[in-house]
Amino acid sequence: MATEVWPSLPLENWKATYSTLHMWMQIVGKIRLACTPPINHWWNVTLYVTSRGLTTLSMPYEGRFFEIEFDFIDHTMLIKTSVGASKIIRLDSRPVAEFYQETMAALRSLGIAVTIWTTPVEVEDRTPFEQDHAHAAYDPEYAHRVWAILLQTSRVLTEFRSRFLGKVSPVHFFWGAFDLAVTRFSGRPAPEHPGAPNIGRFVAVEAYSHEVSSCGFWPGGGPVDMPAFYAYAYPEPEGFKDYPIKPAEAFYHKQMKEFLLPYDVVRAAKAPDQVLLEFLQTTYEAAATLSHWDRPALERTPPSTA
């Protein structure tokens, strides 16, 4: 297993594992969606980084509670309940359809009957989980690496989150797009979101009901052929893409409409935390300054004069 604090993650080396793991996480995420009451901006559906992997946290079910956790050290998925019963599902190379069937069977054996919509979201391939025999790869080395990156990123994003006094999301993992994110809010309503590909418009409307400055980590895909840290604003203010940000390697991606900082820039830096925090801070300043947020009231530290 990778022992580096910021291990390498070349997209081309683990695309097949990435696609399979993405579907597995959507299955678990949809279970969480089915078992939790709605919270603003869909915060009730997210997963959370742990010292071993990713978890749903505790979910209620008919007076009991249960939790599902991916363990990327032992490469298992543990389902545990508040009455002491548990089930372990191995993480190895096998089709999404098989993983789905075993997961639902394990829940039923624990007395938990959950029904989910089995069509994936935010991806082009909409094959239902129970029919997906194409995605069947699992490389434990790369699963461990991406978790290690999420762990370190969560730590830095939490530091960044602590500097904001206004409404701010938890640092959480969105299984739809497979990204770790934290979002700051100005406190003002936003124009109704026009929607996004492969996702219900109502989902985007709820997610972006208020002005945001959001940032996080994404392993890449589509027009982005590398892992990267990202930052965007909704609505995007005039001049946002031309705002001076740091470090110099960061850039505005016109198709994604986001600032991107290649992961390898952070990984190779002498002070990775400092470089990443610089990116997070300057892209936030681009959104907050150009959109005229009440920065003195929202920030724990004085606005930057750089």
3-class secondary-structure state, position 259:
strand
Q: What is the pLDDT of residues 53-73, one digit of tens each?
A: 999 999 999 999 999 999 999
Q: Hey, what are 33's tokens?
A: 């969606």
Query: Beta-carbon neighbour count of residue 199 at 10 Å?
Result: 15
What are phi and psi for residue 2, nearest 5 degrees? -65, 135
Q: What is the pLDDT of residues 134-178, one digit of tens each?
A: 999 999 999 999 999 999 999 999 999 999 999 999 999 999 999
pLDDT at 301: 74
Q: Assess contact for 208 and 234: CB atoms under 8 A.
A: yes
Residue carrying structure tokens 């919270």: 39
pTM for the full predicted model: 0.95
* HSE-up (13 A, CA, CB side) for residue 227: 29
- All structural domains of the chain with their residue ranges: 11-131, 140-298
pLDDT at 113: 97
Q: Over pLDDT 70: what percentage of the chain?
A: 98
- Residue 246 DSSP class: S
Q: What is the pLDDT of residues 18-52, one digit of tens each?
A: 999 999 999 999 999 999 999 999 999 999 999 99
CA 201 to chain centre: 19
